[in-house]
């Protein structure tokens, strides 16, 4: 089947103004051939040639995020890499979607504000200091670590928690539960057509975020139900101080983790005196732009000197 274009149809430009600026600079100042610049920066060769000949410049579509927002995102990606939690393409897409949802930005090009793989490619093309690389997989199971691995971990851990009292060291992790115990084998009459067992359970799943201190103090949990709406009857007779939420499948996502971080963890840590340490894993649902910014600001404040003193003891979020 031949695809016929409508009269007056014109392909929309997909390159950005930054792409064209870089291509023009490469041709003018670096003497790069027009064809090579077009291929390198992914801009139309004819458009680039026309602009160089003095033609009217028409830039491509505006990017979904502003230049300042993209620079901030790049800084956070680099920071996570130095912390040992490099961001995957999916992590990046989730971070941007959560950021756009929180700011009320609605993209006509992204379905449900989820950036596409092509957007990731264009983002990397705009920021040449980032690249996608294959991470080294773990070649041994976690149980078979070497003595050097354990020694290195203990050494790093001692540096992180040096001078931090146990009551200021917190760890969090979530676990999923299902109220369906699964099928079990039972003894019945041979030849029985239907084997049923009466039980008041279903296949509903829910997640509980537990967290506590190294001093043994357990804090109120976050309880996440698998449902479209949260009913008040589900929140009765639960642990004192717990917060409740819901998601489509009862799994932790970036939006629910923000509720835990800003509504439970951060208020508690701010009430403590001295340096604090909050420990968690690098699950994709734990990565949010504003959470990373809060951690970064906490580190900056902790290292800021005061007149006549060394460093100010503040939150390490």
Read off the pLDDT of residues 62-107 as tens digits, 9 standing for 90 and up: 778 888 888 888 888 888 777 767 788 888 888 888 888 888 888 8
Q: Is the pLDDT of residue 11 over 70?
A: no
108 and 217 in a common domain: no
306 and 212 in a common domain: yes
305 and 240 in a common domain: yes
Residue 187 in any domain: the answer is no
206 and 284 in a common domain: yes
Task: Using the structure block, give the residue that is written with the tokens 């949802």.
Answer: 101
Q: Which residue has the higher pLDDT, 138 or 158?
A: 158
Least confident span in 130-144, 157-171, 215-229: 130-144
| Helix, strand, coil tally for the chain in percent (to 5) | 40, 10, 50
Alpha-carbon torsion (57, 62, 63, 66), positive or negative:
positive
Mean pLDDT over the full length of the chain: 76
80 and 34 in a common domain: no
224 and 87 in a common domain: no
Q: Is the pLDDT of residue 50 over 70?
A: yes
Token pair recorded at residue 246: 């819901």
Q: Is the pLDDT of residue 200 over 60?
A: no
pLDDT at 13: 56
Q: Is the pLDDT of residue 316 over 50?
A: no
Residue 236 in any domain: the answer is yes
- Between strands 205-213 and 222-226, the pairing is antiparallel
pLDDT at 181: 54
pLDDT at 55: 60
Q: What is the residue range of 264's domain? A: 163-178+202-317
**Tally of domains within the chain:** 3
pLDDT confidence tier of residue 167, bands split at 50, 70 and 90 = very high
Instruction: Please list, in sequence order, all residues whose beta carbon lies within 8 angstroms of the beta carbon of residue 121, skipping any fewer than 6 positions away.
Output: none
In angstroms, the CA 56 to CA 47 distance is 9
pLDDT at 195: 56
210 and 316 in a common domain: yes
Q: Give 19-37 pLDDT, tens digit per residue.
A: 888 888 888 888 888 888 8
95 and 21 in a common domain: no
Residue 152 in any domain: the answer is no
Closest CA to 112 of 100, 125, 124, 123: 100
CA Rg value for the chain: 27
Residue 22 in any domain: the answer is yes
Angle at alpha carbon of residue 92, lines to 90 and 97, rounded to 5°: 95
pLDDT at 57: 54
Q: Give 249-307 pLDDT, tens digit per residue.
A: 777 888 888 888 888 888 888 888 888 888 887 777 777 788 888 877 765 544 444 33
């Amino acid at each position: 089947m031949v695809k016929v274009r409508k009269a007056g149809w014109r392909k929309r430009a997909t390159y950005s103004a930054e792409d064209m600026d870089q291509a023009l600079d490469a041709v003018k100042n670096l003497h790069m051939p027009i064809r090579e610049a077009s291929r390198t920066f992914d801009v139309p060769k004819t458009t680039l040639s026309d602009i160089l000949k003095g033609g009217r410049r028409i830039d491509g579509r505006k990017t979904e995020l502003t230049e300042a927002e993209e620079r901030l995102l790049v800084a956070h990606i680099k920071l996570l890499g130095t912390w040992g939690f490099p961001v995957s393409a999916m992590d990046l897409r989730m971070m941007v979607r959560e950021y756009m949802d929180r700011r009320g930005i609605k993209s006509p090009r992204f379905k449900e504000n989820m950036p596409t793989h092509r957007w990731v490619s264009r983002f990397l093309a705009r920021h040449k200091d980032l690249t996608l690389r294959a991470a080294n997989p773990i070649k041994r199971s976690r149980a078979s670590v070497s003595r050097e691995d354990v020694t290195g971990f203990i050494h790093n851990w001692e540096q992180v928690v040096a001078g931090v009292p146990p009551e200021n060291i917190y760890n969090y992790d979530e676990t999923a539960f299902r109220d369906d115990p699964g099928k079990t084998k039972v003894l019945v009459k041979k030849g029985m057509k239907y084997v049923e067992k009466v039980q008041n359970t279903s296949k509903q799943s829910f997640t509980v975020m537990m967290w506590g201190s190294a001093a043994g103090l357990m804090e109120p949990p976050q309880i996440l139900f698998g449902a479209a709406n949260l009913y008040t009857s589900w929140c009765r007779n639960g642990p004192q101080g717990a917060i409740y939420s819901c998601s489509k499948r009862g799994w932790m996502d970036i939006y629910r983790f923000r509720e835990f971080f800003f509504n439970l963890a951060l208020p508690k840590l701010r009430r403590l005196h001295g340096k604090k340490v909050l420990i968690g894993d690098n699950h994709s649902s734990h990565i949010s732009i504003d959470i990373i910014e809060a951690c970064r600001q906490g580190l900056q404040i902790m290292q800021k000197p005061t007149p006549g003193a060394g460093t100010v003891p503040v939150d390490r979020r």
